[in-house]
Amino acid sequence: MKKLITALAIAPLLLAGAFAHAQGAHTDKETKADVERHRAMAAAHEAAAKCLEAGKGHDQCQKELQVACKGLAIGKFCGMRHVH
């Protein structure tokens, strides 16, 4: 009986571990999509840098970055945030 209880207690942990491992493996299609998303984020950040170099205000450049990054990354800072 103790073995059964132990097995039932451990089973969810093993399943969670297997699920986490399965989530880490990407198909070639998913990897290609990740690469494209990172390049799009990089282009959006480059445009934000050029916006700031052009002398536009930080708030305006930040708004343009948020528009360019919509749907690309988590959060409103396009996957990147630094101190100001």
Write phi, then psi, for 13 (nearest 5 degrees). Answer: -65, -40
pTM: 0.63
Residue 13: per-residue pLDDT: 57
Which residues have a Cβ under 8 Å from the Cβ of 73 and sit 6 or more positions away? 37, 41, 79, 80
CA atoms of 65 and 6, how far apart (whole Å): 52
Residue 15's Cβ-side half-sphere holds a number of Cα atoms within 13 Å equal to: 6
| Per-residue pLDDT reduced to its tens digit, 27-52 | 999 999 999 999 999 999 999 999 99
The region of weakest confidence among 12-16, 24-28, 51-55 is 12-16
| Longest CA span, the chain | 73
Residue 72: per-residue pLDDT: 84
